[in-house]
Amino acid sequence: MIPDLARINLEIDRTHKNVLEFITVCNSENSKSSSYEDWSYKDVIAHLTRWISFSADKLESIKNQIPFKDVDDFRKTNREWYAVDYNKELKIVESEFEKAIKKYKAVIVTYGKEELIKNDLPLGFGIDLWRYMIMDGSTHPNGHLLYHYLKRRKYLNFIKVMEETKDIFYLFSNGNSKVYSFVEYEDKAGMVKNRLEELSKAYNDNDILKKVMEANQ
């Protein structure tokens, strides 16, 4: 089933809510001491802001048929953005996130229903437009929240986000459990597997958690 713009907006609103809860849950962490290999929660928000803002600008350019410079090496770009954002105050990062997600929502509603199924737009991924919108508006940001909660052993928050987003993750991936892979996030070898094993002791009958574990074997 292809989601309409109302559903996509609903998922972006959910992401917005989840990030605000993430800030509240993690605000006791030291946001000023981190490394690229071990992000603080402020670093996570800054990273999400960068990609949501980038995606909004790209979609706006495509809609208006304006040339747009895409990212050639996302790993290099992530490191560069991390370095630029490292010394920003948390309030600035939060404010930039609010502006980015507001713009993202404003841009996606300029597209029509018939455009959502297009897979020949210059998105850089060769996927349908609706999947691109869901990726940067939901699965990518919520994936980072899940990873950070797991890393910090905030298991109740992990389960909450996992359950709330399971339908859109399933829709985005056509049910492929690899959508839950943290291979691009993991900063310490074996950490994800160890945390998931801890978590499974309390939630061993959770089908979604089983998919997450399967994706991170």
Give the tens place of pLDDT for each residue, 154-168. 999 999 999 999 999
CA dihedral for 31, 70, 175, 166, sign (positive or negative): positive
Q: Looking up tokens 């980072």, which residue turns up?
A: 144
Tens of pLDDT along 82-103? 999 999 999 999 999 999 999 9
Number of H helices, E strands in the chain: 9, 0
At residue 41, the pLDDT reads 96
Buried b (16+ CB within 10 A) or exposed e, 94-114: bebbeebbebbbebbeebeee
The answer for residues whose C-beta is within 8 angstroms of residue 180's C-beta and 6 or more apart is: 143, 146, 169, 211, 212, 215, 216
At residue 150, the pLDDT reads 96
The share of the chain scoring above pLDDT 70, in percent, equals 99
Q: Look up residue 180 and give its amino acid.
A: Y
Residue 49 is encoded by which pair of tokens? 């802001």
At residue 129, the pLDDT reads 95
The mean pLDDT value of the chain amounts to 94
The share of the chain scoring above pLDDT 90, in percent, equals 83
Does position 108 have pLDDT exceeding 80, yes or no? yes
At residue 190, the pLDDT reads 86
The answer to whether 104 and 12 have CB atoms below 8 angstroms apart is: yes
The answer for residues whose C-beta is within 8 angstroms of residue 172's C-beta and 6 or more apart is: 131, 134, 135, 138, 139, 179
More confident residue, 124 or 128: 128
Other Cβ atoms closer than 10 A to 117: 11
Tens of pLDDT along 17-69? 999 999 999 998 877 778 999 999 999 999 999 999 999 999 999 999 998 88
At residue 10, the pLDDT reads 97
At residue 113, the pLDDT reads 92
Average pLDDT for residues 183-210, to the nearest whole number?
Answer: 89
Average pLDDT for residues 142-148, to the nearest whole number?
Answer: 98
pLDDT confidence band for 189 (50 / 70 / 90) = confident
Domains of the chain: 5-154 (1.20.120.450)
Average pLDDT for residues 10-20, to the nearest whole number?
Answer: 98
Does position 207 have pLDDT exceeding 90, yes or no? yes
The answer to whether 141 and 185 have CB atoms below 8 angstroms apart is: no
